[in-house]
Amino acid sequence: MESGNPTENGDSASPQRTNVDKIRRHDLDALRAGAMLLGVCLHAMIAYSGIAWIVIDNQQNHIFKLVIELIHGFRMPLFFLISGFFTAMLACRQGSGSMLKNRAARILIPFVISVVIIIPLDKVVGLFALTANASHPQDPIFKAIQQGDSRQVLHLLEKGPKSLLEEPEKRMRFTPLNYAVLCESEPITKLLLERGANPMASNRNGYNSLYMAALLGREDLLKLLIENGGDPFLATGSSKSAWTAAQQPYDETRTIVFISKGKFPEDMTVLENGRQAVIEYLKRFSMDQYGTPIPPEQTSRPKPIQGLPSWVQWYFDWLSSDQIVVNIAGQKINLLQDASLDHLWFLWFLWWLCVIHYILDCLCRPIGPGATEKTNLIYPGLMVAFVLTCCMQAWMGLDYSTKVLNLPVGPDFSPGLIPKPHVFLYYAVFFFFGSWYFRLGDNDCFLGRHWRLALPIAMLVLFPLVSATKDERLLNILLQSLYTWLMVLGSIGLANRLFQRESKLFRYLADSSYWLYLIHIPPVLCMQWLFLFLPAPALVKFPLVFLITMLILLASYELLVRRTVIGRILNGKKK
C-alpha cells in the first residue's frame, strides 16, 4: 500500500484510468523522506552557522551557513512538487472528494493536534534553551560585562586586539557597548565610550546602543551616548531609533529584553516610568535641534522597496505592519509575521493547496495519465513553471519586518497563521506543476534524465553566482529560479536512478519521516543546549547533535508510533 503521509497517495480504490493503479514511484517516496529529513539536518546545523536561531553556539563554521542556504533554495519547492504529484494521483484513484477526506485525515488532523501539543512543547523547550543561551555569554569580554567587572573589561581591551572593542558576540551580534547598555552598566558604558566605541553600531536586529538605552528607560545612559556622538533620531537600516524604542509596545519590550539577555525586565513599572522620562528628554532635545518637540521622520523603507510601484510598496508596508494583530489569551499575535506555526507551516500551506486542488477538480473534471506518456509536453510546461517561479521570486527578500529572518537564497519564511500571499503563490507553482506532471504519465522519469548535468551546474556554478549577484536584483531572480529548478529536477533524476525498486529500509524511513519531522524540534534544541559549553569545534558538535537526535527520534517512532493509533493517523492502515 502507498503510505498515507501528506505527500503520498493513500489507500487504493477504483481507478479512473486503468493504468493508474500500476503507477508506483518509489523514487519520489524516498525523495519525499529525504526532503523531510533534510529539515531535521538543517535545524540541527543552524546553531553552528551564525544564522539567527533559538540556540546559537559560540563555535561556528561558515560552511554550515552556505550548506543551509544551498538546501533551503530547493528543499521545500521539491517537497511541494512531490506533494502535488501524489495529490493528483490520489484524486485520480479515489476521486476528488475522497482525496480531500484523505488529506483532512493525513494533514489537517495531525496539524491541529500538533498545534495543540507539539508547538507548545517546542515553545517550552525553546524557552529553557534560549534562557540558558542568552544568560550565559561565552566570550570573555561579554562575561565580564555581564558580571559588571570593569577591571576585567579594561584588562581584556588592553591585552587583546584593537578590533575587540567593536567585535560582536556570536549570538545576537551585540558589540561590547551594546551589551554594556543592555546590562545597564554605566561604568562599563563610560569605559567603552572613552576608548572610542561606536554608539551607533547595531546588532543583527538593528538595535544600537541608543535604542537599547531608550527601550530600557535609562535616560542617563542615553545622555551619555548622545554626548559621545550618538543620534537618537537616526534610524538604522531596520528603521530602529531611540525615539521608536521609547514608544515600543509593552509586550514587544518584554520579548526583546528576554531574547537579548535571557530574562524579563525585573520591574516593568520602573521601566515604563523611565521611558516616559526618555520621551520628555528626547522632546527637549528635538526642540533644541529642530525647533519642534516631535522629531522629523527619519525612518524609511529599505532601498530595494523604494523604487517599486506604489501598490507593491503598500503590500510590503502591510506585511511589515501590525494591522493583522489579534489578542489570544492575553497575548498579542501578528497573524502574518509571528512564528505561530513554527516548522509546521508547510502542513497549513499543503492543506489549503489540496482544498484549491479539489475546487479546481470540481470545476474541471480531473484527468489521469493516458495510455501513452506525454513527455513531449514536459519542456513547455517547465518553461511556464520557470517563468511563474521568476515572477514569484521577484517578491522574495523584500519583506522588511524583523519578526522573521529570511535567508538570501530561496523563498521567504511564512510561519504565521495567515500565509503570506507571495510565499503561498510561490509554493503553489511547484505544487500544481507536480499535479500536472502526474497527468503526463512520465513513469520513466524523463523529467529528471539530465540530473548528471543539472546537479553540478546548480551547485558549482549557479549557487556561487546567486551569492555573488545579491545587488543585481533582476539577474539574481533569474539565477535563483534557475538554481531551484535545476536542483529539483536533478534530485528527481538522482532519486530515480537510486530508488527504482522498493527498499525495506527506505520504506521504513519514508513512513517514519513524517513523525520524525513533526517532533524533531525539542530533541534538537535539547542536544544543542546540552553541547553548548562543550569545548569542541562546530564540525564535531553538529554531527553529534544530528546523530543523537535521529536515534532518539527513530526510537520514539518504533516504540510510540509505528504500531499505534498515532501511526495509523499519520500513515494510514497497513494492509
| Cα–Cα distance list, 308 to 102, 226, 268, 320, 572 (Å) | 43, 35, 41, 16, 48
Q: What cell does 447 get?
A: 523529467
What does the alpha-carbon distance between residue 451 and residue 465 come to, in Å, rounded to a whole number? 20
| Cα–Cα distance list, 32 to 269, 512, 527 (Å) | 52, 11, 25
Which of 1, 23, 31, 81 has the alpha carbon at shortest distance from 497?
31
Contact 209, 178 (CB under 8 A): yes
Q: What cell does 477 get?
A: 531572480
Predicted pLDDT of residue 373: 62
Query: Could you tell me which residues are beta bridge partners of residue 68?
Result: none
Predicted pLDDT of residue 16: 45
The half-sphere exposure of 177 on its side-chain side, counting CA atoms within 13 A, is 27
Q: What is the Cα Rg of the chain in Å?
A: 26
Please, what's the largest Cα pairwise distance for the chain? Answer: 83
Q: What cell does 562 get?
A: 509505528
Residues 6+ apart with CB under 8 A from 402: 205, 206, 238
- In degrees and rounded to multiples of 5, residue 328 shows phi and psi of -120, 115
Query: Within 10 Å of residue 327's Cβ, how many Cβ atoms?
Result: 9
Q: What cell does 486 get?
A: 535545476
DSSP 333: E
What does the alpha-carbon distance between residue 252 and residue 128 come to, in Å, rounded to a whole number? 19
The half-sphere exposure of 211 on its side-chain side, counting CA atoms within 13 A, is 26
Tens digit of each residue's pLDDT, the chain (575 residues): 344 455 444 443 444 444 555 566 788 988 999 999 999 999 999 999 989 899 999 899 999 999 999 999 999 999 999 999 999 999 998 899 999 999 999 999 999 999 999 999 999 999 999 999 998 888 999 999 999 999 999 999 999 898 999 999 988 899 999 999 999 999 999 999 999 999 999 888 888 999 999 999 999 999 999 999 998 888 776 668 888 888 888 888 988 999 999 999 988 999 999 999 999 999 998 888 877 777 765 555 666 777 788 888 889 888 887 778 887 777 778 888 888 899 999 999 999 999 999 999 998 876 666 545 677 889 999 999 999 999 999 999 888 776 667 788 999 999 999 999 999 999 999 999 999 999 888 888 899 999 999 999 999 999 999 999 988 999 999 999 999 999 999 999 999 998 877 778 888 888 899 999 999 999 999 999 999 989 899 999 999 999 999 999 999 999 999 989 998 888 876 65
Q: What cell does 423 get?
A: 510565499
Query: Could you tell me which residues are beta bridge partners of residue 334?
Result: 325
| Cα–Cα distance list, 381 to 82, 93, 270 (Å) | 16, 23, 63
- In degrees and rounded to multiples of 5, residue 459 shows phi and psi of -80, -40
Sequence letter at residue 164: L
What does the alpha-carbon distance between residue 58 and residue 266 come to, in Å, rounded to a whole number? 27
Contact 326, 338 (CB under 8 A): no
Which of 73, 82, 101 has the alpha carbon at shortest distance from 432?
82
What does the alpha-carbon distance between residue 57 and residue 226 come to, in Å, rounded to a whole number? 33
* Element spanning 328, H or E: strand 325-328
What does the alpha-carbon distance between residue 280 and residue 283 come to, in Å, rounded to a whole number? 5
pTM of the model: 0.89
Q: What cell does 272 get?
A: 515604563
Q: What cell does 490 get?
A: 536533478
What does the alpha-carbon distance between residue 477 and residue 469 come to, in Å, rounded to a whole number? 9
Predicted pLDDT of residue 368: 60
